[in-house]
């Protein structure tokens, strides 16, 4: 996929990064019903991707790379309303130096807060509202045998989880769904719902206003 050409990619940051953030938000909080967004294209010319593997983020530039115009977004920021009454803010960008795979989320509720950073993806930061005053603050929980899929992958806590392990889990769930004849998640319906959120985000950015997300049709 050419990430700079709207005719091929369909979208920029919204499509290749923002969709993952939207997916996480829906999984943790619920359906998104309304959005107010800003989408920008800051860098109007980028190197042309050579071959089928996108190495533009890791290969040292020489200044001799062929370049072409960019007509897709490279940054988006939005406010969202969820079906359960919760509110939130989501952001995605291709222009944050030093943020390699910095997919983070922060959730605040009555009983405490959660913080997750995909660059440290075997750790979960938690803070509980009812902690004693002299112990308030975030604590680190390390993934291990006690957590889902833990017995098959991590014999001890904090051993580490990487991209490879996440793909093993995805394949396991997919094959288990076939064998057990049970639905697996995320589903095609989840993908459809995310696409509808993306449509609302693009419309909101164009109209500079709040836009309601279309409900998925059955």
Query: How far apart are alpha carbons 195 and 159 in whole angstroms?
Result: 36
Q: What pTM was estimated for this model as a whole?
A: 0.84
Q: For CA atoms 144, 112, 17, 98, give the dihedral sign.
A: negative
Residue 57's pLDDT is what? 53
Cα 168 to Cα 28, 36, 111, 174, 209, distances in angstroms: 22, 36, 33, 10, 42
Better-predicted residue by pLDDT, 218 or 183? 183
Q: Which pLDDT band, with edges at 50, 70 and 90, does 10 fall under?
A: low
Q: Which pLDDT band, with edges at 50, 70 and 90, does 58 fall under?
A: low
Interior/surface letters 193-218, b for 16+ CB within 10 angstroms, e for the rest: bbbbbbebbbbbbeeeeebebeeeee
Residue 112 sits at φ, ψ, to 5 deg, of 155, -165
Residue 132's pLDDT is what? 94
Query: How far apart are alpha carbons 138 and 186 in whole angstroms?
Result: 29
Domains of the chain in sequence order: 6-101+188-212 (3.30.360.10)
């Amino acid at each position: 996929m050419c990430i700079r050409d709207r005719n091929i990619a369909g979208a920029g940051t919204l499509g290749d990064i923002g969709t993952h953030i939207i997916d996480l938000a829906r999984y943790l909080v619920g359906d998104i019903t309304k959005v107010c967004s800003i989408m920008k294209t800051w860098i109007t010319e980028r190197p042309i991707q050579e071959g089928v593997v996108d190495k533009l983020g890791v290969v040292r530039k020489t200044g001799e790379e062929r370049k072409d115009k960019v007509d897709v977004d490279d940054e988006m920021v939005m406010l969202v309303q969820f079906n359960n009454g919760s509110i939130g803010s989501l952001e995605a960008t291709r222009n944050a130096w030093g943020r390699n795979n910095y997919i983070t989320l922060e959730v605040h509720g009555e009983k405490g807060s959660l913080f997750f950073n995909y660059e440290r993806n075997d750790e979960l930061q938690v803070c509980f509202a009812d902690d004693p005053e002299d112990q308030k603050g975030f604590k680190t929980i390390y993934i291990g045998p006690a957590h889902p899929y833990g017995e098959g992958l991590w014999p001890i806590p904090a051993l580490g989880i990487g991209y490879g392990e996440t793909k093993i889990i995805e394949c396991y769930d997919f094959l288990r769904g076939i064998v057990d004849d049970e639905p697996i998640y995320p589903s095609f319906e989840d993908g459809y719902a995310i696409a509808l959120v993306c449509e609302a985000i693009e419309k909101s950015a164009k109209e500079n206003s709040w836009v309601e997300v279309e409900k998925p049709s059955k």
